[in-house]
Structure 1
Amino acid sequence: MGQSSSKGVKAHMETAQKTGALVLSERKLTELPDLSALEKVLRTLDLSSNKLVCLPSSISSLSNLKHLSVNCNKLESLPEDLGSLTKLESLSLSNNHLHRLPDSSSSLKHLKSLILSYNNFQEFPSVIFSLPHLDVVDLSSNKITSIPDGIGDLQTIELNLNQNEINLISPDIAKCPRLKTLRLEENAIELSTIPKELLEESQVSLLCLNGNLFNMKDIEDTEGYSKYMERYTAVKKKMY
């Protein structure tokens, strides 16, 4: 980091002492500056569009952090004590090289938005199943091949799995208590692998399936599709 860039970072950190928000995007950072002086005041941290390969474990000391964005970096892993950020409400890590979340992520009980698009996940991160306040989970553009058993515990309202490699969907998806929008476009799903429970029994009122291994018109004859259309139509009527 050059001298002028270093001065710029210092000025932003001084401002953050007053505002609680630190934006260090597009700074060509290869490592995180010392944030110890901001441990108690920082609520928003944006490190997007840098060259970070990892985050130091010291980030877990930002005890009041609510919003963390580290999009468009080179992250290959996350600190194992990430779950110490217990007040975190939004976590955005799009466009990195991540393939897993640390086990401690299950402690992020206030998390509402989790953005993990354009990474290297091959398995659905089941560690998020226990998070009670999720509204949006975006795992689009990864390499996930299946929606696993146990998914019924997921509390999110919207789940985006577009542009993965999904060819297997557990019937447990129908048990998700708050799931309204399920995006599964451009995967490897065959019509026979769509669980009838998803169509017939779930809360899903918007199911996006374009770009899979079947003709969209054929799904209209699938068992349970009429039930799905009832939910879809009811929601549309409320909007207009």
Structure 2
Amino acid sequence: MGNSALKSHLETSQKTGVFQLTGKGLQEFPEELQRLTSNLRTVDLSGNKIEVLPPSIGNFLQMKSLTLNANRLTSVPPELGKLKKLETLSLNQNQLQTVPPALCQLKALRTLCLSGNLLTELPPGLGALRHLDLLDLSHNKIHHVPPEVQELQAIELNLNQNQISSVSSSISLCPRLKVLRLEENCLELSAVPLSVLDQSQISLLSLEGNLFEVKKLRDLEGYDKYMERFTATKKKFT
């Protein structure tokens, strides 16, 4: 991409606080953006070939939304944790095997999307994100949901299309969890914690495409309680 085109984008971003440059084959995070650290609020660099996010990403203290979907990132720097105003972080379709603990410092974060990576476990410490509405970990290689999940503050947790064969009953203790998606995993009916049905806040439980017929859920103790929550939520939106 020519310098003049980039210059034109930078000039626009100076006025709008938004920098969007998708599908242009960029191989690195544009260094020129450093000129805009004081006013850049939204950056979308999806569909490029970026392999490394530089530590200087920590300089964008006004940033509220960072989207780097469909790049080639294998890691993200701990400096990302400095973005105290960040509300949306989307890193779908990269090659991340882990995420740094510094992510837990993003106290304003509402949406964290890590779909289509190489994660094998739930990133630890995400319970520190008190305002998290959505955590998307679909299309990864996660095998189980550990007891620490109870610390999670998310309203929706998407774990579709992983390799999950066990779910800790602690998930029923998540204080804000309303939507739990576990489609296309490796769950037996016996691996579904009964506490999710009769003791949780969950009003939408998605389990299609596992190792049992979904209609067999009806035979489980607590299913009626779950259906009461499901129906009550449905009425709200009709």
TM > 0.5? yes
Deviation at residue 239 of structure 1 after TM alignment: 2.1
Deviation of the 1:237 alpha carbon = 2.0
Kindly state the Cα deviation for residue 238 of structure 1 after the two structures are TM-superposed.
2.1
Please name the residue that 1:67 is paired with. Answer: 65
- Matched letter for residue 148 of structure 1: P
Contact 1:185–1:209 (CA<8 Å) still a contact in 2? yes
| Superposed CA offset, 1:59-96 (max 9, x none) | 11001100000001011000122101111000011111
Q: Is the 8 A contact 1:81 1:102 kept in 2?
A: no
TM-score, normalised to structure 2's length? 0.97
Aligned 8 A contact 2:171 2:196 in 1 = yes
Count of aligned pairs: 237
Deviation at 1:235, TM superposition (A): 1.2
Cα deviations across residues 184-238 of structure 1 (Å, max 9, x unaligned)?
Answer: 0000011111111111100000000000011112111111111111111111222
Q: Which residue of 2 aligns with 1:48?
A: 46
The reply on whether 1:29 has 2:6 as its aligned counterpart is no
Deviation at 1:156, TM superposition (A): 0.7
Classify the secondary structure of the residue corresponding to 1:236.
helix
Query: Structure 1 residue 9 and structure 2 residue 30: aligned?
Result: no
Query: Which of residues 123, 131, 136 in structure 1 aligns to 2:129?
Result: 131
- Shift >4 Å, 4+ stretches: none
1:58 and 1:81 map into 2 onto residues whose CA distance is: 7
Does structure 2 retain, via aligned residues, the 8 Å contact 1:101–1:127? Answer: no
> Once the 2 structures are TM-superposed, how far is the Cα of residue 147 of structure 1 from its aligned partner?
0.8
Question: Any residues of structure 2 matched to 1:79-94 within 5 Å, and which?
Answer: 79-94=77-92
Structure-1 residue corresponding to 2:225: 227
Give how far 1:140 is off: 0.7
Residue pair 2:154, 2:176 contacting (<8 A) in 1 also: yes
C-alpha distance in structure 2 between counterparts of 1:172 and 1:203, whole Å: 12
Partners of 1:33 and 1:100 in 2: CA distance:
24
* Structural mapping, 1:197-208, within 5 Å: 197-208=195-206
Counterpart secondary structure, 2:128: coil
Distance 1:190 1:61 in 2: 47
Q: Distance in 2 between matches of 1:59 and 1:81?
A: 7
Aligned-pair Cα RMSD in Å: 1.0
Q: Report 1:210-221 matches (<5 A).
A: 210-221=208-219
Cα distance in 1 between the residues matched to 2:29 and 2:155: 33
| AA at the equivalent of 1:70 | L
* Equivalent runs, 1:76-225 vs 2, <5 Å: 76-225=74-223
Which residues of structure 1 form unaligned runs of 5+? Answer: none
The AA in structure 1 aligned to 2:15 is K
**CA distance, structure 1, for counterparts of residue 7 and residue 127 of structure 2:** 39
Residue type of the alignment partner of 2:70: C
Deviates more, 1:152-161 or 1:229-238: 229-238
Letter in 1 for 2:106: L
Give the C-alpha shift of residue 139 in structure 1.
0.7
Structure 1 Cα separation of the partners of residues 138 and 90 of structure 2: 13
Deviates more, 1:123-132 or 1:207-216: 123-132
Instruction: Give, in angstroms, the shift of residue 37 of structure 1.
Output: 0.9
- 2:135 match: secondary structure: strand
Q: CA deviation at 1:29?
A: 0.7
- Give TM-score scaled by structure 1 length: 0.96
